[in-house]
Amino acid sequence: MAGASAADVRSILSLPSSSTSAPAQPKKPAVPISRKPSGISRELYSLIGPSAPTLVAQVAKPRLKQKPNLSGGGTSKWSWRSFKNSARTDGLELGHWVKANTDPDAGPSLVFSPRYRYKDKGTLEYPFARYNAKSPDYTYSQEEYTNFLEDPEWTKEETDYLFNLIREYDSRFYIVNDRYEFPGGPFRSMEDLKDRYYSVCRKLIRNRPWSGDEASKAQLISTFQFDKEREVTRKKYLLSLENRTPEELAEETALYIELKRIEQNEKRFKQDRDRLLRTLLGAECGLPDLPIDEDGPLGDPKKRKKGAPGELDSPATPSSALFASSVPKRAQSAKSAAQDAMHCIQRMDVTMLAGTTPKTTHQAAHLRSFRVPYPKAAVAAKVSQIAGELGVSLSRLVMPTRDTLTAHEALLESITSLVEAKKVADRLDLEIRTAKIRLGMRESEVPAEMAMDVDEDGQAPDTPGEGRAHSVVSTRSGRSRKQASFRKVIPRSFPVAYWRWRSPQTGTSNDRRSMSVSSVDTSATSTARAGTKRQKLS
């Protein structure tokens, strides 16, 4: 029914055939050529046409699984045949099973026949015979021995014995050394044997005529190099390593962990600083391509010296005074000076902005209140406690003028150093005590004490707080540039708390933490959302 074409309709309605139908006519006989497959009704087939193979396949009569052919058509015959191994010197014939359809004259040929190689006679070789590889060995004549190889330590007989053993055991020196029993000879260590063997080989190569070029000769000689002294020292060192006591081992492990920790700290510190620098220089001022030293502005931190034992936690940052002298002061024009005086403007020297670097060509303007230093997080509690005892509130700086700020900074610094000093003193005290205990008691105290040490170090604060604080300040200044885009520093009496709220407080580490928290939050909400979605679906 659906197969009815326009021509059919025309013929039913006895209409004259259109001109367009004429070319369609020759196509028509092509359709019946594609035969209607069985299992599908004619009507359906004329509907869907031949272009539905998947449907046809489904409709097609189901076929049963082919029955296994058990009559032996797929099996191959095997026969027991004897073979000769060309790696043998005798005529031993062993037998093995091979496929019967292989050429019987060809000797053994198995499933791995591609690996067979034809010998010159055209017969096949036993496949495993070619693994009978011999390493090249060196022999010498009596004449050669007397000319080159004389050694007061070795007789010719013993040298012969050594070379025989090495040949016998394919240069496996551990075995050679184990089996070495030259009657009447002195005790020989493995290094003695190796030294003798390699030196003889070197001399032979050097003194024999060489067909190739000098380079290849030198290369060959270099493969026979043996430094006996070095080997002996190495073995001694190995032995001493093995003979370490458990205490020494524990100490070494502790030291190693400590070293790793310091390295990690330094790395983190460097990363932080680089990030800071990038923030300062690059992205926010639209100068992303500004070159930054790989080591950061302060040079390679590894090259810098470590401070006191208490300062292991963070590398010391040199004070900004270092740079103060190196940066030429900008001359102030008289005109601007007059203007400044009129408008009560105090110009700050760039280098006075602590922690900034001479490279920061773009010194952003910022509020002084941003420069209010805060004690380090590690000692904050103690510092505020001491400040409280003094009756000073650190959190609230009512008027952050230059003078107040300087005084504030000085106060904070001295409190911090006081706390540091206390800490160091405490630690030393503890160390003295534990040392006394250790003196009194046995070594079993060692692990416990070490654990204490590690704890102490874990708490140890970043002593050069100055540097860290400065860098923090400079970040803040960078960040606040958009909020206050004027160059001059204006004393502001905004409550500090406000600025705290507006900008991240303590440097980058806090920043990162807050970021991670927010990401966790979002993921949590997203999963919650997904959960609700799932609920809806169900």
Partner 1 sequence: MVQYGGDEVSALVIDIGTSSLRAGYAGDDTPKAIIPTSYGFVPVARDGDVAMAEAETEAEPTAPKEESKLYIGQHGPSVWREDMQIGNPMSEGLITDFKPIPYLIRYALKDVLRCKPEDHPVLVTEPAWNTPANRERMAEIMFEEFDVPAFYIANTGVLNAFAAGKGSALVIDIGHSTASVTPVVDGFVLRKGLVHSALPQLVYAHAKHTLITSYKHPAVQLFSHQLIANKSPVEAGSPPRFTVREDRLSKTTPSLASYYENREVEEWVQTVAGVLDQGWNEQAASQRPLRHYEFPTGFNTYFGPERFQVGELFFAHSRDLVSSNPHLPRTIPSLISQALAACDPDMRQVLMGNVVLAGGGSLFAGFGERLNNELVRNFPHVKIHAPGNPAERRYGGWLGGSILASLGTFHQLWISKEEWQEHGKPIVAQRCK
Listed ranges 53-61, 92-100, 148-156, 514-522: which one lies at the site for partner 1 (CB under 8 A): 92-100
90 binds partner 1 (CB under 8 A): yes
Cα dihedral 83, 87, 88, 89 sign? positive
250 binds partner 1 (CB under 8 A): no
- Helices and strands in the chain, H and E counts: 20, 2
505 binds partner 1 (CB under 8 A): no
AA letter at 503: S
Listed ranges 120-128, 255-263, 390-398, 526-534: which one lies at the site for partner 1 (CB under 8 A): 120-128
CA pair distance 244, 367, nearest whole angstrom:
61
Q: Which is nearer to partner 1, 244 or 422 (CB)?
A: 244
CB of 198 to partner 1, least distance (A): 17
Listed ranges 87-95, 267-275, 297-305, 360-368: which one lies at the site for partner 1 (CB under 8 A): 87-95
CA pair distance 163, 176, nearest whole angstrom:
10
Three-state secondary structure string covering 356-371: CCCCCCCCCCCCHHHH
CA pair distance 373, 354, nearest whole angstrom:
11
212 binds partner 1 (CB under 8 A): no
Instruction: Indicate the helix (H) or strand (E) that contains 96.
Output: strand 93-99
Q: Which is nearer to partner 1, 250 or 397 (CB)?
A: 250
Q: Which is nearer to partner 1, 129 or 411 (CB)?
A: 129
Q: Identify the residue among 119, 208, 235, 512 touching partner 1 (CB under 8 A).
A: 235
CA pair distance 496, 474, nearest whole angstrom:
17
- DSSP letters along 379-407, please? THHHHHHHHHHHT--SS--S---HHHHHH
CB of 100 to partner 1, least distance (A): 16
Listed ranges 50-58, 166-174, 201-209, 329-337: which one lies at the site for partner 1 (CB under 8 A): 166-174
97 binds partner 1 (CB under 8 A): yes
Q: Which is nearer to partner 1, 80 or 501 (CB)?
A: 80
Please name the residue ranges forming H helices in 169-245: 173-179, 190-207, 214-223, 228-242
15 binds partner 1 (CB under 8 A): no
Listed ranges 155-163, 171-179, 415-423, 488-496: which one lies at the site for partner 1 (CB under 8 A): 171-179
454 binds partner 1 (CB under 8 A): no
CB of 412 to partner 1, least distance (A): 49
Inter-residue long-range contacts of 74-83, CB under 8 Å, 24+ positions, other chains counted: 76/100, 76/101, 77/101, 81/107, 81/108, 83/107, 83/108, 83/126
Q: Which is nearer to partner 1, 190 or 205 (CB)?
A: 190
Listed ranges 13-21, 165-173, 406-414, 500-508: which one lies at the site for partner 1 (CB under 8 A): 165-173
CB of 258 to partner 1, least distance (A): 20
CA pair distance 110, 123, nearest whole angstrom:
15
Listed ranges 172-180, 318-326, 484-492, 511-519: which one lies at the site for partner 1 (CB under 8 A): 172-180
Q: How many residues bind partner 1 (CB under 8 A)?
A: 32
91 binds partner 1 (CB under 8 A): yes
Q: Which is nearer to partner 1, 126 or 148 (CB)?
A: 126
Q: Which residues contact 285 (CB under 8 A, 6 or more apart)?
A: 362, 364
Residue 448 CB coordination number (10 Å): 12
- DSSP letters along 415-435, please? HHHHHHHHHHHHHHHHHHHHH
Q: Identify the residue among 28, 172, 347, 513 touching partner 1 (CB under 8 A).
A: 172
Distances (CA, A) of 32 to 24, 79, 217, 275: 15, 58, 83, 77
Listed ranges 86-94, 134-142, 333-341, 394-402: which one lies at the site for partner 1 (CB under 8 A): 86-94
Q: Which is nearer to partner 1, 94 or 451 (CB)?
A: 94
171 binds partner 1 (CB under 8 A): no
CA pair distance 214, 216, nearest whole angstrom:
6
Q: Which residues contact 61 (CB under 8 A, 6 or more apart)?
A: 38, 39
CB of 106 to partner 1, least distance (A): 16
Q: Which residues of the chain form contacts with partner 1 (CB under 8 A)?
A: 85, 87-88, 90-92, 94-97, 110-112, 126-129, 131-132, 168-169, 172, 174-175, 177-179, 190, 235, 238-239, 242
